[in-house]
Amino acid sequence: MDWNKKLWQRSLDQFPEFMEPLVAELGRSERREGAALYVQGLLMPGERKSTEPMAARLGVDMQKLQQFIADSPWADQAVWHAIRKDVTPVMEPLAAWIVDETGWLKQGDKSVGVSHQYCGAVGKQANCQVSVEVVVSDGEIAAPVAGRLYLPESWAGDPARREAAGVPAEVKFQTKPMIALELIREIVADGVSRAPVLGDQVYGNASELRRALRQELDLEYFLNVGGDLLAWTKPVKTRLAKKYWGVPEGQPEATSLAALSRTLSDKQWRSVAWNAADGAKRRTRIGWLPVYALSDLDPQTGDWPQTWLVVDWPEGSDEPYHLYLAWLKQPPSAARCLRLSRGRFPIEQFFQRDKTDLGLDHYEGRSWRGFHHHLVLAAVAYLFVTVIYLRSKKNFWCYVGTGVARDAAVVGAADRLLPLLRN
C-alpha cells in the first residue's frame, strides 16, 4: 500500500465528521445514516454507481438503499443549503458563479424528464435527462451549490407521466435559463458571497436572465452570447409607448454583435497570454466597447442599459473565439476579461469527474424525488474527494470511481477546504 492510499484510508476515518453538518437537517437518524451510506457507496471503486451494485459493495440490503434514495421524504434542499452554508465561506474570495447544464443518457421513456433533446455528453440530440447546475469557484476549485432537473414541455404538460414520476404539482415548465435564475435566487438568499455569473450562450442569449441579474439581484455577469444579437453603440434615449416595444423612431439601425466585433480599432485591443489546457502558452486579443443591446430593453421604463461587448479573438484566427455581454461595476480590463472568459473550466471538470468517477449519471430510478436526492448526494461525494485531494496535493482519483488515475487539474488552496474535515 503506497503513501497516497494510506492517507486516503485515514481520510475515510474522518468521513462521519465531514457528513455531519451536511445532513444535520434531514431529521431522523436513519435518514442521516442513509445519506452517509449512499455517499460512501458513490466513493467506492466500481464501474456502476446505481443502487444494486453499490448495495453489494457496501454489504447492505439493496431494497432499503433504494427506498432511501427514491422514496424517503427528506429534502434535498436542506443538503444544498448546508453545502452553501459550510462550503462557500472557506472558498472566499469567490471568482465566479458558473451556470451550465449536463446530459444523462437514458434508455426508454419512463425516467423523469427523459426526452430526445440536445445532450452535451455526446454533443448532439439523444435520449437523455438534462440537469441545470450552479457551481461557485475561486478560480481553481469548483463547489456545486445548486441543481435541478430540466423538465421538457412534453413532460410538464402530461398529467399521467407527471403522476407516475411524482413530479410536484408546483413544478411547471421552465426554460433552462429560468431554472438557472431560480437556483441563483436560492444561492443569493443563502448569503453566498457574490461574484460574476458566467455561462454559455444558452444563458447569455436569455435577456430575461440578464435583466434579472442586473435589476433584481444586482449581480455582475459575463455571459457568452451569439453574434446575431443586435445592439447600438450609443445611448438609446427615446422612451417608447407602453403598447409598443420596438426600435425608436429616428434611431439608427441596430448592428449585430458579430459585425460590431470587427469595428474595434487597433487601440481598443489588448494582446494577452494564457496557458491552454495542454500546457502550451497561447496569445489572444481582448477588446471591448459599450453597447445597448436591443434585447435588453426594460419593459417598465422603455430604457436600454449600457453593457459591454467583450471580444476574445485569438491571434492568427479569422474569427473571434467568443463574444460576451458583460455587466460589470468597474470598467473592463484585459486581465479580468481574460480570467472571466476562461472561468467556466471548473464546472466542466466537475461534470467530468462527478460522472466518470462518482456516478453522477448512473442513477437508474425514475422518480423526481430520487433524481434530486441522487443529484445532491453526488455533489457531496465530489466535495469530499476534492477536499482530500487538495489536502494531499496528490491524485486521489485513482482510488475512487473506476480505479483509473486521472490527471490532476485542480491545484493549490488545500487549506481553504480543510475546515470541512473538522480537523
Q: Residue 5 has what pLDDT?
A: 63
Q: Residue 390 has what pLDDT?
A: 66
Q: Is-contact 176 120, C-beta < 8 A? A: no
Q: Residue 4 has what pLDDT?
A: 56
Q: Indicate whether 406 pLDDT > 80.
A: no
pLDDT band at 140 (very low <50, low <70, confident <90, very high): confident
pLDDT band at 249 (very low <50, low <70, confident <90, very high): low
CB environment 114-134: b (16+ within 10 A), e (fewer): bbebebbbeeeebbbbbbbbb
Q: Residue 86 has what pLDDT?
A: 87
Give pLDDT tens digits for 183-219.
999 999 999 999 999 999 999 999 999 999 999 999 9
Of the candidate ranges 98-107, 116-125, 241-250, 373-382, the one whose mean pLDDT is the lowest: 241-250
Can you tell me the distance from the alpha carbon of 349 to that of 345, in angstroms, rounded to the nearest whole number? 6
pLDDT band at 38 (very low <50, low <70, confident <90, very high): very high
Q: Residue 32 has what pLDDT?
A: 93
Q: What is the pTM of this model?
A: 0.89
Give pLDDT tens digits for 254-311.
899 999 999 999 999 999 988 876 777 888 999 999 999 989 987 777 778 999 999 9
Strands 197-199 and 142-149: unpaired
Can you tell me the distance from the alpha carbon of 173 to that of 181, in angstroms, rounded to the nearest whole number? 14
Q: Residue 87 has what pLDDT?
A: 83
Share of the chain above pLDDT 90, in %: 63
363 or 420, which is more confident: 363
- Average pLDDT over every residue of 50-75: 94
Domain spans of the chain? Answer: 3-197+347-421, 201-341
Q: Residue 237 has what pLDDT?
A: 62
Q: Indicate whether 323 pLDDT > 60.
A: yes
Can you tell me the distance from the alpha carbon of 414 to that of 292, in angstroms, rounded to the nearest whole number? 42
Give pLDDT tens digits for 354-372.
898 889 999 999 999 999 9
Q: Residue 401 has what pLDDT?
A: 44
Q: Residue 379 has what pLDDT?
A: 95
Q: Indicate whether 148 pLDDT > 60.
A: yes
Q: Supply the DSSP string of 272-285, one letter for each residue.
A: EEEE-TTS-EEEEE
Q: Is-contact 180 202, C-beta < 8 A? A: no
Q: ∠ at Cα 362 (356, 364), nearest 5°?
A: 175
Identity of the highest mean pLDDT range in 5-14, 222-231, 274-283: 222-231
Give pLDDT tens digits for 159-177.
999 999 999 999 999 999 9
Q: Residue 419 has what pLDDT?
A: 52
Q: Residue 121 has what pLDDT?
A: 81
Q: Is-contact 310 320, C-beta < 8 A? A: no
pLDDT band at 250 (very low <50, low <70, confident <90, very high): low
Q: Indicate whether 83 pLDDT > 90.
A: yes
Q: ∠ at Cα 254 (253, 259), nearest 5°?
A: 120
